[in-house]
Structure 1
Amino acid sequence: MKHINVIDIEASGLHFDAYPIEVAVLINEKVYSWLIKPEPNWLHWCSAAESMHGITRERLLSEGLNAAQVAEELNNLLKHSDAPLCSDAVYWDSDWIDTLFHSVKQSRLFHISSLYELMNEDECKSFDHLKRQLALSGKYRQHRAKEDVRLILDAYYEASSGL
């Protein structure tokens, strides 16, 4: 079992114009998370997505940090990490991180890997099953990045250790 860092992102929807609204990373068992204030050209908002994550656009405008600050903090946290940064939805999460960095004209200094690349076929199936079970356990608030990174890591460790 390999030590990993985990990233998860909540977004304004699943549309091609969607943007990141919350990002969390779990590094060495510590979680860092940010709500992101929408950039002026980030307009897409999906009410179905809002009903899942429970974050309103108004909350982002009042409590969110500006995108440049979030990008800078992510780079500072992750550029020197020895453990891989993994996502269980690398296509979506990479796209939203790229949206974040592109919008503020910053370079991303870290790479996001697929969590599934670290596991064999049986471990991948086990991970998916364990993740669903943990999600239903009531221990985690689903669709909030801060909770999802913990859920993902717990499912990964259980699947990888063969528990």
Structure 2
Amino acid sequence: MSCPALIDFEASCLPEYGQSYPIEVAVARIDGSNRAWLIRPAEAWRYWDWSDEAEKLHGITQQMLDDEGLPPEQVLAEMAEFVAGCPVYADADLDQYWLEVLCQATGTRLPFPVHYLGEYLKEGGYTRPQVVAALEEAKRRLPKEHLAREDAKRLAMVVRLLVDGEVG
């Protein structure tokens, strides 16, 4: 079982602090496979906002994006290929927003919808104590935060722990 897939973005700043754009995205399946991409800023984003506070959280600099980031079109194509056949979930609606910003910059349609993880958990009949226990165990195993790859892997682990009945 490799589905569902969990997605997480890091951004130049939080939307309430300015016009933000996606700088990193990661997707993890519950079988443990995962991918992460640094996103080279699209020309349309060159004058959008950057937050030093956000940079301190995720550790990604503008120079890293220029040097190591991939073109938004390539990120979208590779991400769509990686999640093919899997429903995609996130723990925040901001992830859908940043996917939309990425698509707008490339002039492409949304390659897949991003569903709210809470819906999946509710449909699965998982109780709050089960979810909390799974989240605590996943945080114990993967403690790094504010890195898209680690956050996506942690969310996928939460789902896997619940599916496998390893908690609560």
Q: TM-score, normalised by structure 2?
A: 0.82
On the 8 A contact 1:140/1:148 being kept in 2, the answer is no
On the 8 A contact 2:103/2:110 being kept in 1, the answer is yes
Which ranges of 4 or more aligned residues in structure 1 deviate by more than 4 Å? none
On the 8 A contact 1:38/1:60 being kept in 2, the answer is yes
Secondary structure of the 2:44 match is: coil
On the 8 A contact 2:32/2:156 being kept in 1, the answer is no
Secondary structure of the 1:41 match is: helix
**Deviation, structure 1 residue 73:** 1.5
1:53 aligns with 2:78: no
The aligned length equals: 159
Please give the alpha-carbon distance, in whole angstroms, between the structure 1 residues aligned to 2:132 and 2:108: 34
Tell me the equivalent position of 1:147.
Answer: 150
1:5 aligns with 2:8: no
On the 8 A contact 1:7/1:87 being kept in 2, the answer is yes
On the 8 A contact 1:75/1:108 being kept in 2, the answer is no
Of 106, 117, 127, which residue of structure 1 is paired with 2:131?
Answer: 127
Of 44, 48, 56, which residue of structure 1 is paired with 2:49?
Answer: 44
**Deviation, structure 1 residue 87:** 0.7
Secondary structure of the 1:119 match is: helix
Q: TM-score, normalised by structure 1?
A: 0.84
Please give the alpha-carbon distance, in whole angstroms, between the structure 2 residues aligned to 1:154 and 1:72: 25
Tell me the equivalent position of 1:21.
Answer: 23
Structure 1 pair 124–9 and aligned structure 2 pair: CA distance change class (3 A): farther
Q: Percent identity?
A: 28
Gaps of 5+ in 2: none
Query: CA offsets per residue over residues 77-96 of structure 1, 9 Å max, x none?
Result: 33x31x3111111x100000
On the 8 A contact 2:145/2:151 being kept in 1, the answer is yes
Across the aligned residues of Structure 1 and Structure 2, the Cα RMSD in angstroms comes to 2.4
Please give the alpha-carbon distance, in whole angstroms, between the structure 2 residues aligned to 1:68 and 1:59: 18
Please give the alpha-carbon distance, in whole angstroms, between the structure 1 residues aligned to 2:132 and 2:11: 22
**Deviation, structure 1 residue 101:** 0.7
Please give the alpha-carbon distance, in whole angstroms, between the structure 2 residues aligned to 1:54 and 1:159: 31
**Deviation, structure 1 residue 128:** 4.5
Please give the alpha-carbon distance, in whole angstroms, between the structure 1 residues aligned to 2:132 and 2:12: 24
1:98 aligns with 2:100: yes
Please give the alpha-carbon distance, in whole angstroms, between the structure 2 residues aligned to 1:114 and 1:60: 28
1:62 aligns with 2:62: no
Please give the alpha-carbon distance, in whole angstroms, between the structure 2 residues aligned to 1:124 and 1:117: 13
On the 8 A contact 1:24/1:32 being kept in 2, the answer is yes
